Amino acid sequence: MNLSQSDWAKKVETEKDALILDVRTQEECNDGIIQNAILNDIYNGKEFINKLEQLDKSKKYFVYCKVGGRSSQACDIMEQLGFENVYNLEGGFMNWKGEIVLP
């Protein structure tokens, strides 16, 4: 499910079991990440899938990338793997207005 910046941020704050997943490259993450994000580069292919399979599918995942395309793909992949609650950040990190931290 695609969520606007404000809806995504509100849900991250209020949802129990919310986890943030950053699917950008390490190089992109050097510019900063959303606090508490789990890094898992979608370009890593099988390693990306392996890391997803280690996650608890019952939790809620808030996924982002640089502009929203890769995170949308990641959400699709996660749903195919049996994740039921995945939320894509529309506009991605480029439009993020919230707090960021350096990795």
- By annotation, the residues acting in catalysis are 65
Q: What's the Cα-to-Cα distance from 72 to each of 96, 101, 103, rounded to whole Å?
A: 16, 23, 23
What's the CA angle centered on 14, arms 36 and 4, to 5 degrees?
A: 80
Cβ atoms of 22 and 90 within 8 Å: the answer is no
